[in-house]
Amino acid sequence: MRVGIIGLGLMGGSLGLALQKTKLVTSVVGIDHNISHCEDALKLGLINEIVSFKEIKQCDMIFLAIPVEAIIDILQELTDIPKATTIVDLGSTKAKILES
């Protein structure tokens, strides 16, 4: 299973490291608007590869490890992902996400 993480800060990076230890996950890829987060995640082995937003949309599972307001915006850009793709948000509150 190829897993994508949008947001490679503390939560996204920790998740990437944990996912790589499971037998179900074959590859963990990520993207972050902060270039230093991307570089650090690669250097520390938290993810296998930095990918484009277009490429992350092809993952089997996508984790959104970004602020709630950004989750709302990103969800609008994920409407064309394959139907079998699972999206998981790590946002702290769900009310705003559900309202959108």
Does CATH number 3.40.50.720 belong to domain 2-99? yes
For 23-35, what is the mean pLDDT?
A: 96
- Annotate the chain with three-state secondary structure: CEEEEECCCHHHHHHHHHHHCCCCCCEEEEECCCHHHHHHHHHCCCCCEECCHHHHCCCCEEEECCCHHHHHHHHHHCCCCCCCCEEEECCCCCHHHHHC
For 23-28, what is the mean pLDDT?
A: 95
Q: Look up the pTM and report it.
A: 0.91
**For residue 53, what are its two tokens?**
């937003």
The residues spanned by each domain of the chain are: 2-99
Q: How far apart are CA 18 and CA 84, in angstroms?
A: 23
Question: How high does pLDDT run on average in the chain?
Answer: 92
Confidence class of residue 56 from pLDDT cuts 50, 70 and 90? very high
Percent of the chain with pLDDT over 90: 86
**For residue 4, what are its two tokens?**
């994508």
Residue 78 has, within 13 A of its CA and on its CB side, a CA count of 26
